[in-house]
Amino acid sequence: MSNIKEIALLSGVSKSTVSRVISGHGYTSQEAKDKVLKVIQELQYKPNAIARAMVLQRTHNIGILIYRRDYPIVSHPFYGKIIDAILATAARMNYSVFVTTDHEMSLRSADFMMEKRVDGLILISRLEQNVIDHISKFGVPYVMVNGSTNVDGVVHIVNRDQEGGREAARHLTGLGHRKIFMLAGPQDHRSHHLRLEGFRDYMQEHHLDISEDAIAYPVASTFEAGYRAMSEHWEHFRQGAYTAVFGTNDMIGLGAMKFLHEQGLSVPEQVAVMGFDDIDISSITNPPLTTIRVDTQQMGHVACVMLDKLIRENSVKETILELKPELVIRHSTSHQDT
């Protein structure tokens, strides 16, 4: 495989000269630069990614940064699907992909990607502003998936979470449920916040307002957090005689359903349970979980396509791409007996 040493030998210049031509930093005579570029162009026709990158000023590498405070990260049933879709699309577009995770919201992961000289970044989940500011300094194009920022012109690929929240409320109230208990995940995350907002907006518009007493806020978007939140509010839940539970993601909803089963309540005969995301496990639980589907495959595919456009064209017309949610009715919800 061609490397700097080989390029220097064929060019008749030093390795440091080749390095200066590659990096674009430091003085190099035009004669030496022409010699190096000529050899690089020749090597371009060999299977050498380094040579191609030097000619095109591109590495054909992209990076995926996933920011989550809670484990799992890469194996998360929602984010894992997005990553799989990105990897499949990137392979078809001849990109190599670096994946790194960060649960501390630090800057180290971004620095790691810059060291790999990626052509662009896909940022997944929520990010703190200092991370966005740090990444922006490098001038590398990036898109955000299932997150948001106030920086102008950043491409966002998101689900219409507010619309999905409304659809969840429409489904449960359409089944006759009026006393609905909500498990709303961390409200500093865009998705959980908008899903709760959409649900409450629909209820208010139909004069079925949900009080704060009917809302619990699990500390994380995990199965364990949903189970724990349901157990902590069990007495309040029982006293209020709620007939349905809505979790702002499937893992929270499934955790709640497990706790209800352990209390001897039948789902959906006594309590209906609904989630959001349509992760794989939601279709094989007992009973299978009614949910709002997020097209994670499309989300990952679009993210990769849009990043490629930014890399090649430097700009795109659309900066916010919203995917439509879909109601998936299974056996965990049913009509409320009157």
Q: Where are the beta strands (DSSP E) in the chain?
A: 61-67, 96-102, 120-124, 142-145, 155-159, 180-183, 215-216, 244-247, 272-274, 291-293, 320-323, 326-328
Looking at the fold, whether 116 and 132 belong to one and the same domain comes out as yes
- Mean pLDDT on 59-63: 88
pLDDT in tens, 230-280: 999 988 777 667 999 999 999 999 999 999 999 999 999 999 999 999 999
Task: Please report which confidence band the pLDDT of residue 142 belongs to, taking 50, 70 and 90 as the band edges.
Answer: very high
Task: Please report which confidence band the pLDDT of residue 1 belongs to, taking 50, 70 and 90 as the band edges.
Answer: very low
Range of the domain at 213: 161-294
Q: Is residue 253 part of a domain?
A: yes
The alpha carbon dihedral of 35, 39, 40, 44 has a sign of positive
* First-last CA distance in the chain: 75
Looking at the fold, whether 125 and 188 belong to one and the same domain comes out as no
HSE at residue 333, side-chain half, CA atoms within 13 A, is 29
Question: Given 56, 75, 99, which residue is the final one in a domain?
Answer: 56
Whether this model's pTM surpasses 0.85: no
Q: Is residue 83 part of a domain?
A: yes
Task: Work out the mean pLDDT of the chain and round it to a whole number.
Answer: 86
The alpha carbon dihedral of 208, 214, 215, 221 has a sign of negative
- Mean pLDDT on 51-78: 72
- Mean pLDDT on 170-187: 96
3-state class (DSSP) for residue 99? strand
152 versus 312: which is more confidently predicted?
A: 312
Looking at the fold, whether 117 and 131 belong to one and the same domain comes out as yes
pLDDT in tens, 297-329: 999 999 999 999 999 887 777 788 999 999 999
Vertex 254 angle, CA 157 and 179, to 5°: 95
- Residue 321: count other Cβ atoms within 10 Å of its Cβ: 18
Give long-range contacts, CB 8 A cutoff, 24+ apart: 38-42.
38/11, 39/7, 39/10, 39/11, 40/7, 42/10
Q: Is residue 169 part of a domain?
A: yes
Lowest mean pLDDT among 109-113, 161-165, 181-185: 109-113
pLDDT at 82 over 90: yes
Q: Is residue 337 part of a domain?
A: no
Residue 157 near residue 137, CB atoms below 8 Å: no
Q: Is residue 335 part of a domain?
A: no
Q: What is the CATH number of the domain that holds 154?
A: 3.40.50.2300
Q: Is residue 135 part of a domain?
A: yes
3-state class (DSSP) for residue 147? coil
pLDDT in tens, 266-300: 999 999 999 999 999 999 999 999 999 999 999 99
How many domains are there within the chain?
3
Annotate 171-183 with DSSP letters as a single string. Answer: HHHHTT---EEEE
Q: What is the CATH number of the domain that holds 15?
A: 1.10.260
Give the position of tokens 């010699």: 35
Residue 124 near residue 64, CB atoms below 8 Å: yes
Name the token pair of 275. Answer: 């989630």
Looking at the fold, whether 194 and 251 belong to one and the same domain comes out as yes
Q: Are strands 244-247 and 180-183 parallel, antiparallel or unpaired?
A: parallel
HSE at residue 58, side-chain half, CA atoms within 13 A, is 14
